[in-house]
Amino acid sequence: MLDILRSDTMRRSFQRGMQVTANAVAVTLGPCARPVFVGDLHAPLRVAQTGLAVATSVFFEDPAETAGAALLRQAAEWARQASGDGTASAVAVAHHLVHEGINLVGVGFDPTELRRGIELALGEADNHLSLISTPGKDAESLRHVARTASADSRLADLIVDIARESGSGSLVIVDGGYGSTPRIESVGGLQIEAGYVFPRVMTGGARGGDRKRLHRPLVLLLTTSSPDGTALDRVLDHAGRARRPLLVVTERARADLAAQVWRWSVDSDLKALVVELPSIRPGDTNGGATMSELAVLTGARLICGDTGDAPMVHHLGEAGVVLADATRTLVVAPNGNHSGAPSRLLVLQTPGRGAHDGGDTRVRAERAARAVHAATLHGVVPGGGVALLSAASALAALGRLSQDRVTRIAFSLVQRALEEPFRQLVHNAGISPTTALRRVHRRDDFEWGGLVLPSGEVVDVLRAGIIDPLPVLQGVLQAASCAARLMLTTEAVVARGRDAEARDAALRLAS
């Protein structure tokens, strides 16, 4: 059975789901952010440190409310994909745009014209951010960026030193280290900018965002999406009998391949991961070069569909350790050293084990590393929400010049939405957003006036070193634009009814 929710009823429920999700995400924004505990009936509580982690954990019984939460969750994911950070800000901006946009559509505004006006305003805001950006390659700027992202000066300085010496792209951050301080280890290995595509393949049925570790796994490299099923069964049987985990890397992971590995993982308790290799090199459309590097690293033979090869036991290679989550995979050489490895990785091991201790340090370290990498490549802008306030002021001037009423309203809507991250930052510090905005706007002696939190002192944030990487804020605007474009012209939500969900659950139990 399908529930079809239309018009005002759908929109009100949709807005409720967005409001609850936005409120939950808002507390993770800024230097005064607070952690959020999330969990369910079948898993222990864990600490969510990012807007995306919180948004992913929000669900409702009402399908339209769930759809509202899903839209903001998708906005956070778009921001993460664009820059690796800014997920809470993306949720704040997208929520205001969509919520107020739905209200305007409800009183008679044409949704298509309103959407075009919003996209035009967001494009102007993006251009303004590019105009006010400055290079961020010097050590002092990078340290400010890393400290803002991690809220830990010692950890930030360590990451900046590594990035300046070896390049931020060579740094991999994992948790589970021992002791009370992070430590660096240089290993031979490769990092794949893709995670495991089928979380159920790993015994235990954990969530897609969980990290998986395979110790001394066998490695199978497939450049064909349809390997010989019987031959693959022999390889899987060999791994199971040898009690060795298995990493399968393929250029295109088909559902039947995942199903075959999944059956073996259930029947023989085989621990396995399937990773779909992306094309990450300019001009490289088939991933062959990176597959070749994996073959050199692990000693595995490439199984190519165009030559008629079938996977055999003697084609398998091996790795020392494989670490993977939903977004990336680290493959360490069998002996861990650099000899014969195509590249060198610096592994930063943060202290502690699990989500309640080391997980916090790892998340902050990853934020700092991504921020440093983005600032080095694309530059920086004033932080603390000030760059978005500057873009909002520019939109106010541009909007007044427009002759079209809908465009003026769209510019005003985006202008107010760009204030949301600043408002939430100061609210988390216990300061009235209205008072904070008034204080900032009164200080004409500062070119980039903003607040130092939690003290509330008004300073020039650029001189004070409160800066953000340009791609982070551009990612926020892109995510908000996608959310508005997706929802404002939507008339109905089609959702599975509860009877259908109950029937599917019963079928899963019966099988």
> pLDDT band at residue 262, thresholds of 50, 70 and 90?
confident
User: What radius of gyration do the chain's Cα atoms show?
Assistant: 25
Dmax over CA atoms of the chain, in Å, equals: 75
> In this predicted structure, what is the pLDDT of residue 199?
52
Mean pLDDT computed over 350-359: 53
What is the DSSP annotation of 401-419?
H-S-HHHHHHHHHHHHHTT
pLDDT for residue 13 is more than 90: no
The residue that leads in pLDDT, 173 or 235, is 235
| DSSP output for 415-465 | HHHTTHHHHHHHHHTT--HHHHHHHHHH-TT-TTEEEETTTTEEEETTTTT
> Which among 302, 253, 295, 247 is positioned nearest to 270, based on CA atoms?
247
Q: Given a cut of 60, is residue 269 above it in pLDDT?
A: yes
Flag whether pLDDT at 97 surpasses 70.
yes
Which pLDDT belongs to residue 476?
95
Question: How confident is the model at residue 404, as a pLDDT?
Answer: 92
Residue 146 has pLDDT above 70, yes or no: yes
Which pLDDT tens digit goes with each residue over 436-454? 999 998 877 788 999 999 8
Q: How far apart are CA 149 and CA 450, in angstroms?
A: 17
> Who has greater pLDDT, 256 or 354?
256
Cα 54–56–62 angle (5° rounding)?
110
Per-residue pLDDT tens for 459-510? 999 889 899 999 999 999 999 999 998 888 777 666 555 444 444 443 343 3
* 174-224 residue pLDDT tens: 665 555 677 777 777 888 877 787 654 443 334 444 678 899 999 998 877
Mean pLDDT of 392-420: 94
Report which of residues 138 and 96 the model is more confident about. Answer: 96
Average pLDDT score over the chain: 80
For β-strands 317-318 and 218-222, DSSP reports them as antiparallel
Taken in order of first residue, the domains within the chain and their CATH numbers are 2-134+382-429+467-496 (1.10.560.10), 168-378 (3.50.7.10)
Q: How far is CA 219 from CA 15, 191, 228, 340, 364, in A?
A: 47, 15, 17, 17, 31
User: What's the CA gap between 395 and 189, in Å, rounded?
Assistant: 47
The whole-number average pLDDT for the span 421-438 is: 94
